[in-house]
Structures are given as C-alpha cells and as structure tokens.
Amino acid sequence: MEFYLNILKQNGYKLTGKRKLVLEAMLKNRRPLTLSDVQKLCVNIDFATIYRIVNLFNELDIVHEVKLFDKQQYYEIMKDDHHHHVVCQSCGKIDRVDLCITQKVSKLTSYTITNHIMEFKGICPACK
C-alpha cells in the first residue's frame, strides 16, 4: 500500500482518509471492480467522490481500466504481474488468468507487440 500512497505524494496529492479507504478496498480484491462495487465496499463515501478518486488513480497509473465482455468499466490495481480475465457468461463471476501469449504471437508473426487485449468467456465450475 505504501508504494501507491507514495505515488500520490510524489504527484502532489494529499493522502486523505477517503483515498486510503478506496485504495484499501481495491487492494483487497483480486478482481476488477466497477465504481458501484467500490462504493459498496466504501459505504461512507458518496458515488461522485468514488468516481473522482478512481479517475485520479487511473491518471496516476495506480489503477487501470479493464474492458470485459459486458462493456462496463472495471478498474483494477496496477501490479507488476501481467494477467487477463475469464468471465462466466452465466453468473458474471470474474477470475484472473495468469497467462499471456504475446511473446508467442510476436515470435510467430515477427511483430513487435505494443499493446493487446485478451478476454475469455465461459461457464464457471459453479454454474456447470
């Protein structure tokens, strides 16, 4: 958490209690969250404040926006580990996929991959 708080400090932003609460809520979850999800985790913070805090975190690369099949905006803490997601098309559960094939694609095509989006959709074990 200190790493992310230092990013705020280094960019001239105060470490407010609300920013800390939002950061803690997002760090505790290993899945992407919508703004509504964040507000449910931070019940004492109004939606407009959640929106402003998450947008600030996005601008500072503390979080990044995750695009999934349902076209909602999700946000996830930026970490050093690159990963993707799989979404259950029945219940909407989101799980991490700690796998990426960009190096293989680069080798097969001789392209230098500069960016990519990879999503998986399926039926989770609970819904089978």
CATH number for the domain that contains residue 46:
1.10.10.10
Range of the domain at 17: 2-77
∠ CA 83-124-30 to the nearest 5 degrees?
Answer: 35
* In a shared domain, residues 48 and 103: no
* In a shared domain, residues 88 and 73: no
* In a shared domain, residues 29 and 70: yes
∠ CA 92-97-103 to the nearest 5 degrees?
Answer: 140
In a domain, 128, yes or no: no
3-state DSSP percent of the chain in helix, strand and coil, to 5: 40, 20, 40
pLDDT computed for residue 79 by the predictor = 74
User: Per residue in 11-25, pLDDT tens?
Assistant: 999 989 999 999 999
* In a shared domain, residues 66 and 8: yes
Q: What is the mean pLDDT of the chain?
A: 89
CATH of the domain at 108: 3.30.1490.190
User: Per residue in 70-109, pLDDT tens?
Assistant: 778 899 988 766 778 888 999 988 888 888 888 899 999 9
Beta strands in 1-128, from DSSP E residues, in sequence order:
63-67, 73-77, 84-88, 94-97, 119-122
pLDDT computed for residue 120 by the predictor = 86
* In a shared domain, residues 53 and 24: yes
- What amino acid occupies position 64? H
* In a shared domain, residues 72 and 95: no
pLDDT computed for residue 10 by the predictor = 95
Give the global pTM.
0.76
Please give the tally of structural domains in the chain: 2
* In a shared domain, residues 71 and 95: no
* In a shared domain, residues 71 and 88: no
For tokens 């600030």, what's the residue? Answer: 56
User: Which band of pLDDT confidence, cut at 50, 70 and 90, is reported for residue 60?
Assistant: very high
